[in-house]
Amino acid sequence: MVDKPQGLTSHDVVDAVRKMLGTRRIGHLGTLDPLATGVLPLAVRNATKLVPFLQGGAKSYAGAIRLGQETDTLDADGEIVRRHEGPLPSEEQIRQVLVSFVGDIEQIPPMYSAVKMDGVPLHRLARQGREVERSPKQVHIDRIELVKFALPEIEIEVDCSAGTYVRALAADLGVRLGCGGHLASLRRTRSGPFGDDLAIPLDGLARQAESGEIEARIIPPVNVLGFPVVRLRREEEHRVRHGGEITGPDAPVPPGTRVAALGSDAQLVAVLEARPGRKLKPLRVLGS
């Protein structure tokens, strides 16, 4: 897990780690903008097949918002398009408006984002000077708190669902306060089960790659999937690796439950799904 530095894209980080580990089979579990730093979990080798099961977890962020200025990208990387000349809101006004974001809210994806319109990323259209209509998406804010009030900047902490644009939160906050605003800085402190206490800066990861310590940093997938675990007998493992169903444990497993199947070497063989009649069907089989 990488502590992404500011200025790099998530893909830049993936490319760097591919070179460190000598494999193309690296994927990330949730994009961070170049402006943002913090937790960027990576899936390595066979674990890239598990990305669909690991995406979608809740996220936590710490960010700074500059009030009184709006930018075209909704963050500090963009050009200022509007300035507020009047007084900025009070701390109490900000706290009251922040509360209104808690719960289910709708966000319109920013033009400078990876969302695709007819197969073309919005950020590509934005760089061509085009703006297209986007459909709002629903996200959930579990917590949003003001942790520092030092106008024209404020600092907030946010716990939210996957897919939340904190840039859009900053801009929408500015609109509701009547003064405009943009995201000045952002750090992701948690992504699903991964916290920033486990994240390693890229230069530290490079040193571990040179010393041969990097492999020890890879977390076994079964430790983070959070699925019930079954251990396969050799004949069951052979059948699962070839896509066949097996009979589940005596204890009933509700249909639809996903199960992590371990082989004789205690390594993850596949993700199975419980079916009626105590059957377990492979959803994703890892290579040997």
> Which residues are known to be catalytic?
33
User: Alpha-carbon torsion 240, 244, 250, 256, what sign?
Assistant: positive
> What spatial distance separates the first Cα and last Cα of the chain, rounded to whole Å?
23
Scanning 160-270, the segments in alpha helix (DSSP H) are 166-177, 202-211, 222-225, 234-241
Q: Which two three-digit tokens encode residue 19? A: 């070179």
Element (H, E) at 159: strand 153-160
Instruction: Label the pairing between strands 2-4 and 200-201.
Output: parallel
Give SS3 for 149: strand
CB-based contacts of 206, cutoff 8 Å, min separation 6? 16, 20
Cα Rg of the chain, angstroms: 22
Gap between the Cα atoms of 34 and 193, Å rounded? 23
Given a contact cutoff of 8 angstroms between Cβ atoms, the answer to whether 207 and 201 are in contact is no
